[in-house]
Structure 1
Amino acid sequence: MRIESGAPLANLVRGVQRQNSAGERSPEEVREGLRISLSELGRSLSAKAGKNQDIDDSGLPDSIKQLLKMIRELKAQIAEKQAQIEAIMSDQSLDAETKRQQLEGLQTELASLNSALTAANANLIKLMRDNGLSDEQMMTAASLAMA
């Protein structure tokens, strides 16, 4: 899943707003309002070796499972961007201006990913409260979000 600056955060905000306005709707109707789209690469990575099997086996509501998977994907993208930044900084073959431009672009993408991760974590907390999870389920969700 690739997060382009601004758009995913706006989509996430709209999804939360829809959930807030869904007072009398059933949980199934609320879940239909949330949509998470992964790129082909994201889907293939997600399918590898049961990467999210612990989330799937957690017994948590589906909306929370999907959000936990999105949080993991965002964390993976953040780690990838940080590695790219480190690689550019240590690349001695680049001139100063090229290096600066590439770093600025990656730092902007990293800031967008961090914003999306913060919003996803906030949405996770809200969903956990709204779904009336038990203390044990809340601990499970929190530990899965941290992994």
Structure 2
Amino acid sequence: MRIASLGSLNNLAQGVQRQFSTAERTAQESREGLRVSLSELGKGMSTRSEKHQDIDDSDLPQAIRDLLKMIRELRAQIAEKQAQIDALMRDQSLDPEAKRLQLESLQTELASLNGALASANANLVKLMRENGLSSEQMQAATTLAMS
């Protein structure tokens, strides 16, 4: 019985020693062993800000820059939906009825995105008129909306 309790006591002592040795590490040593990985959402947000750097660097009003970013995102989503539709059309392994239902769903989503893009473009024109942009700013906004 005494041996078992000594073994537990030794385990406890070793655990405490490990905690103290870990606590004594400097912050720099801890950071060197630290590894960070971003989720897909985080990666997307990171590249999204890089994607819009040209918009952020423009001398356009903030509301117009925000709208231009939205237009760019809508265009990307439309391209992605179209790619999904194309892939679905090439997929020969699906049941025709299942394929039809998926195609209808994707087409509905695509129509919704196209409607949102049309609305955003109309709002862009309205904002450009209301803000009294110079011809250079109007040209820059138009170029950014198309890129």
Shift of 1:47: 2.8
Question: Which has the higher relative contact order, 1 or 2, with Cα contacts under 8 A spaced 6 or more apart?
Answer: 1
Cα gap change, 1:76/1:128 in structure 2, threshold over 3 Å: closer, same or farther? same
Q: 2:110 matched to which residue of 1?
A: 110
- Aligned counterparts of 2:96 and 2:50: Cα–Cα separation in 1: 42
The answer as to 2:111 corresponding to 1:120 is no
Alignment of 1:47-62 (within 5 A): 47-48=46-47, 50-62=50-62
> TM-score, length-normalised on structure 2?
0.70
* 1:37-76 CA-partner distances (Å, limit 9, x unpaired): xxx84x7534317110000001100000000000000000
- Aligned counterparts of 1:46 and 1:70: Cα–Cα separation in 2: 13
- Aligned counterparts of 2:45 and 2:107: Cα–Cα separation in 1: 25
What amino acid is the match of 2:96? Answer: A
> TM-score, length-normalised on structure 1?
0.70
Q: Which runs of 5+ in 1 are unaligned?
A: 1-39
Structure 1 residue runs of 4 or more that deviate by more than 2 Å after TM superposition: 43-47
CA RMSD of aligned residues (A): 1.5
What secondary structure, in the 3-state scheme, does the structure 1 residue paired with 2:94 have?
A: coil
Is the 1:46–1:52 Cα contact (8 Å) retained in structure 2? no
Alignment of 1:73-92 (within 5 A): 73-92=73-92
Q: Which runs of 5+ in 2 are unaligned?
A: 1-39
Alignment of 1:13-52 (within 5 A): 41=41, 44-48=43-47, 50-52=50-52
* Higher radius of gyration, 1 or 2: 2
Cα gap change, 1:96/1:81 in structure 2, threshold over 3 Å: closer, same or farther? same
- Aligned counterparts of 1:145 and 1:133: Cα–Cα separation in 2: 15
- Aligned counterparts of 1:45 and 1:114: Cα–Cα separation in 2: 22
- Aligned counterparts of 1:57 and 1:47: Cα–Cα separation in 2: 17
User: How many residue pairs align between the two structures?
Assistant: 107
Higher mean C-alpha deviation, range 105-114 or range 43-52: 43-52
The answer as to 2:145 corresponding to 1:145 is yes
